[in-house]
Amino acid sequence: MVTAISYARASSALDAQLLTLAVNGIPGIWHLDADIRSLVDAKVVERHSRQADVLSVFVAPMPPPRDRARCDLPTRSFLASGPWLSSLPADLGDRPDACYQVLRQALSGEIDVPDIRIYNGVDVIKRDIGCPDVEFIIPHRGSSTHLNVCVSGVSAQTIECRASVCLDGDSDWRPVEACPRVRLFKAEDAPVGPYAIRQYLSMTSSANYLAFQDSDDFALPSRLEELLTARLESGADIVGSHELRLDEIEQAVIPVRFPLDVNAALREVAEHPQLFPTTVAVASTVQRMGGFSTIRKFGGDTEYLLRAHFLARIINVDRFVYIRRRREGSLTTAPETALGSPVRVELGRRWRSDFALVKSGQLALEDSSFALRHGPAARITPMGDAS
């Protein structure tokens, strides 16, 4: 199967390169809009020619925003190849949502996740980062299938790491394959919420770096290596990235870009300059800050970022190495806690007001509405290695 989906005309050289997939008997399907065709070079096509299951998603090059997150137009451009395509509907080539359907299937848990890369015209910086000690912190409540996909991304990182997964509810989850690098925990009296779990796991970790992630999202294999390289290049304490949103509500693949200098963005306006689960942080910085407020099951990431502005250097890389799944029923979409809900709007108003006062020296950080506060300590117990 080699199908060009409403294929935007590219150079004859690119046409010829893509046709080599058919010549070599490799199943392939693609859609390439004109604004990304410069990203599809011979190296990209060669990768599809020599590996089994591959998915490349292309995001039109654009400068990042200055002071807050920006949702760009959905991308439709991708190149997929390999036997995994047999799991897709036969009529996919006729559908305008093909990019969404392909990425959704890749992360469905019904198949092994293909080798996913995201290209946005920004080159990867390479340097020797040594052997950093990194621990993923992953609270989980909900779909075991999503958690399996999440852990597969952690296991595929290009640098060695470990992960602590805490189940926040009734679950007998174990990874599909034995994984001695995954430590399992269980929250007693669940649900305690993600921030109580992050607080416990972060404050008790012995790692040098903490990698945060939501359990229904996916980290590209290069995520840790790219973020830690940026950390060493810049000296930053907290490093995040852009977000490629797999939007199951809008049924679209949406690039969400963030400012590169998060501190500078927050000096301008206290909006949304970083997506917390994309970040890797110096563990000692998180612990020196006291970790996370635990008085609510939502909003702790915003409070954490506002506090961190005064205590840490924070940046984002101009790359897409994190795929976020937007779905019904999450803390950001459920009616009572959704973004834009009355309780979130009121909290945001108070936080922005106090943030301005702290910046101007009129209010002490510890007296602000986003100061570190804790509810009753969650009882979190180890369940042993996931082996």
Tokens of 318: 């101009």
Q: Name the residue with tokens 């000690």.
A: 133
DSSP letter string, 275-298: -GGG-EEEHHHHHHHT----SSSS
Distance CA 300, CA 302 (A): 5
Q: Which listed CATH number (3.90.550.10, 3.40.50.1860, 3.40.50.2030, 3.30.365.10) goes with 134-328? A: 3.90.550.10
**Alpha carbons within 13 A on the beta-carbon side of 194:** 20
Q: pTM of the full predicted structure?
A: 0.93
Q: If you average pLDDT over every residue of the chain, what do you get?
A: 92
pLDDT at 4 over 60: no
- pLDDT (0 to 100) of residue 344: 84
pLDDT digits (tens, 9 = 90+) for 51-98: 889 999 999 999 999 999 999 999 999 999 999 999 998 778 778 999
pLDDT category of residue 2 using cuts at 50, 70 and 90: very low
Task: Check residues 82 and 16 and name the one with the higher pLDDT.
Answer: 82
Contact 344/338 with Cβ under 8 angstroms?
yes
pLDDT category of residue 15 using cuts at 50, 70 and 90: confident
Distance CA 284, CA 274 (A): 20
Q: Name the residue with tokens 């007693």.
A: 188
Distance CA 218, CA 385 (A): 21
Residues 6+ apart with CB under 8 A from 380: 166, 185, 186, 187, 188, 192, 196, 197, 200, 201
Length of the chain in terms of residues written: 387
Within the chain, all domains assigned CATH 3.90.550.10 are found at 134-328
Distance from CA of residue 18 to its chain's centroid?
30
- Backbone phi, psi, residue 225, to 5°: -60, -40
Whether the link from the prior residue into 180 is cis, omega within 30° of 0, is no
